[in-house]
Structure 1
Amino acid sequence: MTSPDPKHPDTIHCDQFIGHPPARVWRALTEPELHAKWWAAGDVRPVVGHRFTLDMGPWGHQACEVLAVEPERLLRYSFAPGTLDTTVTWRLQAEGTGTRLFLEHSGFDLDSPLGKAAFDGMGHGWPGVLARIEPALAA
């Protein structure tokens, strides 16, 4: 589910229920082998200051740096500094026997053609990406 944010029009918000506890969903966000199964290959690690790249296929390798970590609750990193200059924030919330995963992708420059195109493309693409997490965990 994607929702607009009238206070922050440069931000994409999505959330997805995943039928696994937060500890398992955290692994999908922070273990490179699992991360590659549902989104992009890269040496992601939950360590503030850790720099890594994500292989975004036709969009190339995108640099990232971990900005905040609260194990099994929050992971925030910069995404594509120097080009998009955005921030990706994942929040995990226990919900019944599963997890509600919230994504906030913020900081798009909607006045630039690249920023606007990325915002539109990722706004449509993120829900499908999030939907791949549960099957990746079940495999």
Structure 2
Amino acid sequence: MSDTPTETRSVVVEREFPHPPDRLWRALTQPHLIEEWLMKNDFHPAVGHRFKLQGEWGGTLDCEVLVVEPDKALSYTWNFTHADPAFDLRSVVTFTLAPTGAGTRLRMEQTGFRPDQKQAYGGARAGWPQFFEKLERVLEKSA
């Protein structure tokens, strides 16, 4: 196994939602809705905006908006700083929305997991499907 620092892994979760892209976009970009399915936050959909996501586990993620294409794509950094640098996570989350005949296909890709970050990688693989379940409930309520 190589120790190349650029060698990273990604987590990808895709799901079709029976809602139009604009409804998903609102849930991805309005702070009160983001809080319902993801975490407490001070998000604003503007490239360069720095914001925090506050986890129920007591940790805070430092984020910066990288891409905003309404109803199409949203990307931001997802960084966690730990007292032990081995647990520092520098990643990017990208949401891509694609209209379908029945609604919208949402693709989330989180990139940047180092090979030694098995716990963070496993947490993301388990966590994102749960976030998508909560997102579905938020979308149903806001229908």
TM-score per shorter chain, which class?
0.7 to 0.9
Q: Tell me the SS of whatever aligns to 1:80.
A: strand
CA RMSD of aligned residues (A): 1.5
1:60-139 matched pairs, under 5 angstroms: 60-80=59-79, 82=81, 83-111=88-116, 115-139=117-141
Query: Percent sequence identity over matched residues?
Result: 40
- TM-score for the superposition, normalised by structure 2: 0.84
For structure 2, the residue ranges without an aligned partner over 5 or more in a row are 1-6, 82-87
Report the CA distance between 1:81 and its aligned residue: 5.5
User: 1:5-24 residue pairs with structure 2 within 5 A?
Assistant: 10-24=9-23
The CA distance in 1 between the partners of 2:18 and 2:128, in whole Å, is: 18
Q: Matched residues in 1 for 2:53 and 2:42: separation?
A: 8
Cα distance change of structure 1 residues 9 and 85 upon mapping to structure 2, 3 Å threshold: closer
Q: Which runs of 4+ in 1 moved over 2 A?
A: none
Q: What is the number of residues matched between the two proteins?
A: 129
Contact residue 18 and residue 133 of structure 1 kept, 8 A: no
Counterpart contact for 1:16–1:131, Cα < 8 Å:
no
Q: TM-score, normalised by structure 1?
A: 0.87
Cα deviation code 1:12-50 (max 9, x no counterpart): 011011111000000000000011111111022211000
Looking at structure 2, the residues matched to 17 and 97 of structure 1 have their Cα atoms a distance apart, in angstroms, of 8
Give yes or no for contact 2:48–2:66 (8 Å, CA) kept in 1.
Answer: yes
SS for the counterpart of 2:124 is: helix
| Residues 35-84 of structure 1: CA deviation (Å, up to 9, x unaligned) | 11111110222110000000112151111000111111000100015520
CA contact (8 A) 1:77 1:89 kept: yes
Question: Which residue of 2 is the match for residue 5 of structure 1?
Answer: none
